[in-house]
Structure 1
Amino acid sequence: MKIKFLGAARTVTGSCYVIETDKARFAVDCGMHQGSDAVERRNLDIAPYDPAHLDFF
């Protein structure tokens, strides 16, 4: 099993984790960024993974 941490570094909001096993790949707890305008612009960024490659979200 692999766990990738893709958000919420040094912040409270914007967490996102991708968990991979030999049978499945899924995203968990993909929250929105909240705070200043600069932080909230991150909500418009393209996800750091391809949703088509997930088994479920």
Structure 2
Amino acid sequence: MSKNSSGNFLLLLNYWIKMERDYGELDRKYNYWILRKNPEESEPRWSVVRNVLYWVN
């Protein structure tokens, strides 16, 4: 194993974070993975069973 492998990993990690920030994905991923906020959650699709017959809540 290289003596500088931890330094190389740190460079890679910093580059990845910078790339995510530049493309605007860092905040979205932080909100999803850390804050547990899912912006893609939507209302359930319309259903005859749920919306007409009321068999399911």
TM-score, length-scaled by structure 1: 0.21
- Would you tell me which structure has more strand in proportion to its own residues? 1
- Would you tell me which structure has more helix in proportion to its own residues? 2
TM-score, length-scaled by structure 2: 0.21
Higher relative contact order (CA 8 A, sep 6+): 1
